[in-house]
């Protein structure tokens, strides 16, 4: 009986820790990316870029966020807000021109170690197909030294017409 109580106590403690780690971010909507990283699901699988290969720049009305993860299977995100005006939400696609206020890409490179020239590089871009809205970038915080926010988008590969769903994206990146 004591064993059952101990197991129950351990399970309850694990549940409490689990629920507290799923708590909201205080209403900032800044997502779950760690400092210096981009984190998103690509067709349901998490991809996180390390601080070493992640960067952001801001100049005038332009905000650029990029990051690369991986080793022999490199995966990268690039998000551009071309009409940046501070904290807010920016459409990827849509609008009068069909371009929206932002665009994004997701790339994958599968390196063939035995024959690097046979490596496979694929690129998925958004917006596409006439510029319908296919996602959003939300900047929740920007200072002189850092930018935070969230994003999601559907991107299309023009070589084979495949699409990738980028969901639950977030970033927390020092500005260069």
pLDDT value of residue 6: 32
Q: What is the mean pLDDT of the chain?
A: 83
Does the pLDDT of residue 135 top 60, yes or no? yes
Q: Which residue has the tokens 């990827």?
A: 92
The whole-number average pLDDT for the span 36-63 is 96
Q: DSSP label at 33?
A: P
The C-alpha atoms of residue 31 and residue 131 are separated, in whole angstroms, by 26
pLDDT in tens, 4-25: 333 332 223 332 323 233 333 3
The whole-number average pLDDT for the span 81-106 is 90
pLDDT in tens, 50-90: 999 999 999 999 999 999 998 778 999 999 999 999 999 99
Spatial CA neighbour of 40 closest among 4, 1, 66, 18: 66
The whole-number average pLDDT for the span 40-56 is 96
The whole-number average pLDDT for the span 41-55 is 96
Does the pLDDT of residue 166 top 60, yes or no? yes
The whole-number average pLDDT for the span 119-139 is 92
The C-alpha atoms of residue 88 and residue 163 are separated, in whole angstroms, by 27
């Amino acid at each position: 009986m004591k064993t059952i109580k101990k197991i129950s106590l351990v399970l309850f403690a694990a549940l409490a820790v689990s629920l507290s780690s799923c708590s909201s971010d205080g209403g900032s909507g800044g997502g779950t990316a760690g400092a210096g990283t981009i984190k998103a699901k690509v067709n349901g699988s998490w991809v996180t870029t390390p601080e070493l290969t992640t960067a952001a720049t801001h100049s005038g009305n332009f905000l650029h966020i990029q990051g690369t993860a991986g080793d022999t299977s490199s995966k990268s995100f690039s998000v551009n807000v071309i009409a940046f005006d501070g904290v807010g939400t920016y459409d990827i696609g849509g609008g009068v021109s069909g371009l929206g206020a932002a665009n994004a890409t997701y790339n994958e490179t599968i390196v063939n170690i035995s024959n690097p020239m046979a490596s496979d590089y694929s690129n998925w871009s958004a917006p596409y197909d006439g510029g319908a809205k296919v996602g959003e970038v939300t900047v929740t915080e920007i200072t002189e030294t850092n930018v935070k926010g969230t994003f999601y988008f559907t991107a299309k590969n023009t070589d084979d017409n495949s699409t990738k769903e980028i969901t639950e994206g977030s970033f927390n990146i020092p500005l260069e």
